[in-house]
Amino acid sequence: NTVGTANLYEVIVEHNLSIGKIIVASSQAIYGEGKYRCKVHGIQYPYPRSNSQLEMHQWDIVCEHCDNMLELDETDEMHVNPHNSYSMSKYSQEMIGLVLGKRYEIPTVGMRYSIVQGTRQSFRNAYSGVLRIFAMQALSGHNLTAYEDGKQIRDYVNVKDVACANIIALEDKRTDYCSYNVGGGRQVTVNEFGNIMLEAVGNDAIQVISNGEYRFGDTRHIISNTNALRELGWKPKSTIETSVKEYINWAHNHPDFGDYVSSAMINMRELGTVRGSTLK
């Protein structure tokens, strides 16, 4: 992410290329656990949950001062808190683009996408992405696997809405050298997403299950505040229900569609990415 972006700007400057604007595809991941609020101690940006905490199935994040459960707040663009190599690389990529862009007068904008989903999302990468994972499990007649307790809150946005956000960012000069959250604006738990998938598939024989497994490094909850982008005239139009139905129809008719999840799950357990398994 970082080296490639730096090289891009180096080539533009070296060859004096005429560039209208660059969009740096950043990520919600740069916020880490995101923004929370304690009724007593106010706003907090917590550190990642420890493995020992997760081993005891203590899923929720508590105040570092009083141990009371924190309340989730919408995360705006002001405070970043990357906590793994991917999120660090995405934030570095964004900073390279914005700083070099401003230095060399190459209009640049950072777009911090939430969980993007929609048709044509490859189902061969079964290691992440609840839409494709749940779709593969449901269409294969398997129960849907929710990590932890399935109550994790996420923020999903359709790829079509992302495209519209990008167009606004490209055409509006007010976005130059700024960063914007791009999210769906709806808080949805993993369990709720699973039930939307089950309704779309129409198989009453399967359900969403949790067996205490967790992916070490996952955030508990995260939802982005998109007010800054909305002030420019953007708002998401696609619902999660629509995204799921469109993906199911596309995947079901794809000649190479199949169950890529089962082998990926085994591999992640062996690597220690998925932990706390009760399976032998």
Give residue-wise pLDDT tens across range 167-216. Answer: 999 999 999 999 999 999 999 999 999 999 999 999 999 999 999 999 99
Percent helix, strand and coil across the chain, each to the nearest 5: 40, 15, 45
Average pLDDT, the chain: 95
Q: Please state, as a whole number, how many other Cβ atoms lie within 10 Å of the Cβ of residue 267.
A: 13
Within a domain: residue 28?
A: yes
Cβ atoms of 141 and 202 closer than 8 Å: no
Within a domain: residue 56?
A: yes
What's the CA angle centered on 150, arms 113 and 33, to 5 degrees? 45
The residues facing 170 across adjacent strands are: none
Within a domain: residue 280?
A: no
92: domain CATH number? 3.40.50.720
145 φ, ψ (degrees, to nearest 5): -90, 115
Number of structural domains, the chain?
1
pLDDT at 127 over 80: no
Within a domain: residue 179?
A: yes
Closest listed residue to residue 31, CA positions, set 114, 152, 127: 114
Distance linking the first and last C-alpha atoms of the chain: 38
Note the pLDDT of residue 279: 46
Within a domain: residue 62?
A: yes
Cβ atoms of 267 and 189 closer than 8 Å: no
User: What range defines the domain where residue 248 resides?
Assistant: 2-275
Note the pLDDT of residue 124: 84
Note the pLDDT of residue 128: 82
Within a domain: residue 94?
A: yes
